[in-house]
Chain A
Amino acid sequence: MKKRLQLVFVFFLLFGFSIDHDVYGQQAKITGKVTDGATGEAIPGASILVKGTVRGTVTDLDGKYTIDASPNDVLVITFIGYESKEELVGTRLEINTTLGMSIQALTEVVVVGYGTQEKKEITSSVTSVKAEDFNQGTVNDPRQLLQGKVAGLNIARPGGNPNGGFNMRLRGISSIGENAEPLVVIDGVIGGALSTVDPNDIESMDVLKDGSAAAIYGTRGSAGVILVTTKSGKAGRTTVEFNSSAAVENVARTISVMNAEEYKQIPNSRDLGGNTDWMDEVTNTGLSFINNLSLGGGNASTSYRISVNSRNVKGVGINSGFDQLNARINLTQRALKDKAIFTANISNTSIDRQFGNENSFRYAIISNPTVPVRDPNPQSPNFGGYYERDIFDWFNPVSIAEQNIADGRDSRLLASIRGEYNFTSKFRGAVFYASQRETDWRGSYSPKTAKFGGGFGRNGLATIENRERLNDLFETTLNYDETVGKVGMAFLAGYSYQEFFNQGNFTQAGNFLTDAFTYNNIGAALDFANGLATVSSFANTNRLVAFFGRANFNVEDTYLLSVSARYEGSTRFGANNKWGLFPAISAGVNLANLIDMPGVSAMKFRASYGRTGTQPGESYLSLLRFGRQGNFFYNGQFVPSFGPVSNANPDLAWETKDEYNVGLDFVILNNKLDGTIDYYTRVTSGMILPINVPVPPNLFPTTQLNIGEMSNSGLEVMLNYRAVQTSNFRWTTGVNFSTLKTNLRSLSSGDLSFGEVNYRSNFGSPGQNLTQLIRIQENGPLGQIWGPIQVGVSDNGSPIMKVINGTAKDANGNPVYCNCNDDRTQLGTAYPTLNMGFNNNISYKNWDLNFFFRGSFGHYLINSYRGFYENTESTTVQNWNIVNTKYFDPRISKAEYNSTHVEKADFVVLDNATLGYNFKIKPGSAVGRIRTFLSVQNPLMFTGYTGVDPEVRYGDSESGNDPLAPGIERRATYFTTTITTFGLNLSF
């Protein structure tokens, strides 16, 4: 793979340099100067391009340029932050020109569902983030580019696992039963996988926040929509870009535990002779190398962009990291006198993963610091030379990470082709076909000597898993644009057909003669012969069919109206409810065009309503299904038996979300300050939840029903202030924040109910199973952290809990703590009430500096480490180390979850600080741009939280990311990291 990659690079480099530059005749040498229209200062670095050709140059430090052009040529002069300008050469030999500052906040193109609009025309809540505003540094996941940039969009990846995914939540949570992640649309491909896109290839990401913007995506729009647009080639200059960076990653935060000396002071602790810093033993310095090469260009009829991206990442955990190779071709071809436009995008990604083992972190925290890593006197049983003890929940952390193998390979292919035909200048039609193929392979092996991972007990244990997901999309659209008098109109109609197919298989078997095969020869496992192997496979499919339309009306950019609807059906809906209608309406008025306000360029007030849906997360939920339920002993042998695993619900429908949004977009203070304020309120109803139904008469104790109602509301503010704008020094600062309020209005419908009050999640073993942590309450906020209040410590070292209701009595009739929900209460809330981002861009001459702070406030976390290990008893018996935070109370000897383990987790983090330097390039040299940068990610965090990562937890990582059980930091959280990146950007 590596060799092939190098060849590809060489090929592209050669190809890039061999592009012919056209030669023209009758040319004269034109000179000129480009200045700022307002200040009269020279603009260095402005681009001068002969329109329709690839010939161009840039202005020097004095704003001057020289270019060869003929009289019929048009020069296009552009510079970031300014409106571009065109000059016809004619007979002139000197062309001096002035550029006016562009009001980007008004003219930038925003991608919306099935189209684009200028920002000034937008009437719903949409935030567009362009490549230049993306997060910098070592960014391996497109989601990271947006982190903290969009008010109301929260992106979190607790811990620093290189293979870990980011959780996204837009405007809090839109569904508690089904998918709460925004829908991703990549260049029109609905449900595109973000791993098909390299962060370097992204032009913009547009976030459709409110219901009216997302309604055109129907049953999948409730959690919001993120539209990803990849870079495409521009007609004109051929550009070759090469970006390379190397990064060093170090552990930033762990949890405080005792060192060997401290540990020995604990009465009855067991000194086993060693002195080990386990956190240090299970981590190393991570290293990443990222290389991107792209080639883009084109002429009047063809444009293309080709890129190759490679990423080699080693995480801080032992044996964790990935090697990724991505290649993409975006091609646009015009034909039939520009009436037909064909676009083809193809992207292929291959990722080889090494997962490491997060449990090595968990056990590093509790491993006795007096235990040596390796056993000086290896004994039977053989643990591969690692020091192990035969104690419950006691594993050598280094052995966990070094002995167990967990590998994977993800392959992604996304290909799309679009044909558009302009029947007239007003009427056009398009067909679009896209196909996405995703396969995930996983192989893991736990050797005979690995106490953790099953290898020891099973005499070697191998697992192989394959998953395949196919997504085929076919769409046709018709567009009609018309102007009647002052009213501009745009109409869209379309049809969409999308089919998904998933299949997979899983094989696990143990009992090998040798560890030599690892997972590569699973048939050698004796488990197959003795019947102890596990093999399974599955396949499922689903289909969505939709008709959609939209009409936009624009009266001189002053009065704006948009109406849209999607009528969509899904196979996942029950037989009685196959089709749903998702309408939206939004309107805006630009007051700046009506009232003369000094210094105000725009003041657009808008309001919208939209209905979106969430379809059931799995196929076949509406059907009565039978599943394998063990075997039946029939006439002396076992035969398989089947029983019901679900009840039929032919009425199963989508979840419905109705959302109202009012907003204000403004550009004031003579274009220095622009901003957006949104307030929304949304109600999700008919949430798809597994509801307890009486058994009998039902066959299965739960049925998937549309039940209950939830409301969210919040305020979102984004401000951008150009504080200083001179030719040498520019400083732009931006702040965004969002608030969130949730209420679970109802969890019932008639006699059926999810329960007025429910408790979720399980603290876990040892000893705290069936200890529920999160309360779900009808007519209460989501994410209530629940538990007993500790008021003291008993003589035997147990926490004394507060008697709240006093339902239980002791032998003398006095109320005592009852170990039941009567004596528990709300201890905190899992969701933040305020999220913010604070960005600064400073450039001075050739230097640029960017730093970005992000924070969340008002949320709490259950610190599981402390809940289990901040006590002395486990030291003496289990030989565990003690979590030693400021809360440690040596009197406590017994682990029992209570209020003291629930901590406020407000934080502010310096997400990224980047310092860049642009080298001066002599005009006319082959290289267009050389920039180097040094970037630090997560170097500073301000928080009072004592766990590993105060980041918001949107779901419970130990129960399939259950969205109803947020706010728990589990014990296997990957340590957070600080990444220092040195990089180089070159363009030709």
Chain B
Amino acid sequence: MKKLINIRYFLIGLGISYFASSCVDLEEEVFSAVTADNFFKTDEEFISALGQAYSSLGGLGNHSGLWSINEIASDEIVVSHKGGDWFDGGVLLQLHQHEFQPDNPFLQNTWNFLFGGINTCNRLIFSFQQLDNPNSPAFIAELRALRALYYYWAMDAFGNVPIVTDFTSTEAPDTKTRKEVYDFILKELNEIIPLLPVAKDGTTYGRMTKWAALMIRMKLYLNAEVYTGTPQWALAAADASEIINSGRYSLSPSYKDNFAINNSGSSENIFVYPYDKVFAGGFNWVMMTLHIVSQSTFNLTQQPWNGYQTLEEFYNSYVDPEKNPGVQGPVWKGLALQPSTGTIDGRLSNFLVGPQTRADGTVLIDPGVEPTDPTGRNGDPNGPPLTFMPYLNEISPGGLRQAGARIAKYEFEMGGTNNMSNDFVIFRLSDVILSLAEARFRLGQTTEALALVNQIRARAGNLSPFTTLTEENLLAERGREMYVEMTRRQDLIRFKKYGSAWWPFAGMNRPKRVHSPGSFLELFPIPAPQILANPKLKQNPGYN
């Protein structure tokens, strides 16, 4: 009995002690989450915070974001509806057909990527302003440059977007015109270019430098007519020249070096996002473009998705001796039934075409091949051995699974994972040289322009120099050199070709929407969820 009484006292005592200690305490106790209270304490955390502005760029190399919308809407890339696969609610077809819908999730992803990055920059600028750290002024300049890059992309894709620079503001922002955004970016760049580091070494690799910022400004000027109605060719030429004349960058001896698995030594790359299969995943082109059974070609840890393909006409611009004169040799064309003769442009390394093998060199069989049809209209012309052919039979619904040259621009790693280790090139010298060429060409300085273009052609390998320069062959050369580097949509708009019908689109229920230069379709619609979240945003014209 005594024991039981003791238990009773024990329980009552327990109750009282609970009451006394924490009876109504409702503060949240945090263990594994990071909150504003327990962060920003050490130098490492400081650097790590800056890193977040950069690691936001990691969205560039995967499916469904900024890169995807820019490339699929251009004449470089298509993701055809292959049998049952890759229909995905018609989202990819819409992008390629220029039937842009505000509720397209790719647009929302892109917006989140861009404004997530802008916000992070704003937040960190604010934080560094509050902190009395010797690194703060340099970090702030760097963050403003990075923010300018995000704004440049946002202005290029969506045109009329809000401008927010104050992290502490809680008011929903309203839409600014494309011209206002252009002016804002220009003003920012003008202020910070003198403050940015000029070195090209390990301390600035993957970071914003004066040269990267100059390149953003050069691109603003190059497209100024599209953005503002007023061309700025001379200013574009001046910025391009300043980068070239700095002498810090030079063309790599081999085009391929810039995209190798270990491309951090490239003398040509100006700004990259350093991906790594272990430390910085998210570069998924190996999955996005390769065929399912290509897993055995590269001994990949995962099955690729057989999605992204090159348009045949674009591919042909490399091998066509008329359009791209040079050394002739065996190349794959059309159905890739047998090798044809064509220009063996050194940059054909951009593509994976023709018969594929297993890693040991033996024939690679695709057991899921369509019935064989030598014409390639209703079935695979090459039968079960996996053969990537430049030919594309139709966009939807019966796209052949082996159709289309695949994107091999970045070297694939043997035994690789779904994350590639190549650093993603955002800006490089070739683009500067070709931009200078274009600016000179537009200014009537055709001789200088021709020399610059031929500089690029000479490096490409196996090509003859151009003898004359026309808008057409300048655009084509830019296309070949800058393939899938997210410049094509912008180039097509600037060269007034974005609305052209570039592929007859057999088998589609609707052809690509053909439109004239200046059409509202040159801007993507503002994503519907953004308008919903912030009614002060205005939808772009033509999309209501």
Contacts and interface: CB of A to CB of B under 8 A. Distances in A.
Contacts of B533: 691-694, 701, 752-753
Contacts of A390: 292-293, 295-296, 365-367
Contacts of B75: none
Chain B CB within 10 A, most for which of A335, A543, A631, A693 = A631
B103 A633 contact: no
Given A643-B52, A895-B84, A877 B370 contact: yes
What range describes how many residues of B lie at the interface? Answer: 35 or more
A624 B36 CA distance: 7
A915 B422 CA distance: 70
Contact of B368 (A693, A695, A878): A878
B51 A457 contact: no
B203 interface: yes
A721 B495 CA distance: 84
A816 B93 CA distance: 15
A775 interface: no
B173 A868 contact: no
B365 A877 contact: no
A389 B49 contact: no
B26 A632 contact: no
B526 to A, nearest CB: 11
B508 to A, nearest CB: 10
B104 to A, nearest CB: 9
Contacts of A342: 4, 7
B532 A755 contact: yes
Interface in B53-100: 54-56, 58, 81-91, 93-94, 99
A27 B128 CA distance: 95
Contact of B509 (A389, A421, A624, A816): A816
Interface stretch (A8-16, A256-264, A531-539): A531-539
Interface stretch (B111-119, B326-334, B404-412): B111-119
Interface string B511-524: 10000000000000
Interface string A818-854: 1111000000000000000000000000000000000
A130 interface: no
Interface string A534-552: 0001111111010000000
A276 interface: no
A770 interface: yes
Which has the most chain A C-beta neighbours within 10 Å: B8, B45, B93, B202?
A: B8
Nearest to A754: B532
A772 B88 CA distance: 9
A692 B51 contact: no
Given A768-B87, A796-B397, A541 B367 contact: no
A624 to B, nearest CB: 5
Contacts of B84: 766-768, 868, 871, 873-874, 878, 894-895
Contacts of B122: 696
Given A537-B32, A631-B51, A632-B51, A333 B4 contact: yes
Could you say which of A458, A476, A510, A691 has the most chain B C-beta atoms within 10 Å of its C-beta? A476
Interface in B185-238: 202-203, 205-206
B263 interface: no
A820 B417 contact: no
B81 A633 contact: no
Contacts of A25: none
Contact of B89 (A431, A648, A772): A772
B28 A627 contact: no
Given A392-B85, A626-B34, A819-B90, A811 B11 contact: no
Contacts of B58: 629-630
Interface in B127-150: none
A940 B267 CA distance: 74
Contact of A879 (B48, B94, B367): B367
A819 B35 contact: no
Nearest to A703: B533
A457 B295 contact: yes
Contacts of A643: 52, 55-56, 120
Contact of A532 (B29, B94, B277): B277
B278 to A, nearest CB: 3
Contacts of B1: 335-336
A571 B87 contact: no
Contacts of B82: 767
Contacts of B206: 633
A699 interface: yes
Given A532-B277, A571-B28, A642 B88 contact: no
Nearest to B529: A692
Interface string B491-518: 0000000000000000101110000000
Interface stretch (B163-171, B247-255, B442-450, B456-464): B163-171
B51 A640 contact: yes
Given A631-B279, A694-B172, A874-B84, A641 B510 contact: no
Nearest to A702: B533
Interface in B17-59: 18-19, 22-36, 39, 44-45, 47-52, 54-56, 58
A846 to B, nearest CB: 46
A873 B83 contact: yes
A24 interface: no
Contacts of B205: 633, 636
A431 B51 contact: no
A604 B34 CA distance: 56
Interface stretch (B300-308, B347-355, B430-438, B471-479): B300-308
Nearest to B292: A392
B274 A633 contact: yes
A767 B87 contact: yes
A474 B277 CA distance: 50
A941 B101 CA distance: 45
B530 interface: yes
Given A625-B34, A697-B171, A543 B26 contact: yes
Contacts of B4: 333, 335-336, 340, 342
B338 interface: no
A381 B365 CA distance: 13
B35 A623 contact: yes
A419 interface: yes
A620 B33 contact: yes
A630 B61 CA distance: 14
Nearest to B291: A392
A808 interface: yes
Contacts of B25: 543, 545
A639 B119 contact: no
Contacts of A821: 103
Given A497-B23, A767-B86, A894 B39 contact: no
A22 interface: no
A510 to B, nearest CB: 8
B276 interface: yes
Which of A648, A696, A752, A755 is the most central at the interface, judged by chain B CB atoms within 10 Å of its CB?
A: A696
B48 A391 contact: no
A515 to B, nearest CB: 17
Given A497-B22, A632-B51, A692-B530, 8 more contacts: A335-B5, A390-B293, A394-B368, A545-B23, A545-B26, A629-B56, A634-B51, A694-B534
7 contacts: A433-B11, A623-B30, A692-B532, A696-B119, A701-B112, A819-B89, A820-B94
Name the 3 nearest CB pairs between A and B, nearest first: A632-B51, A641-B51, A819-B90
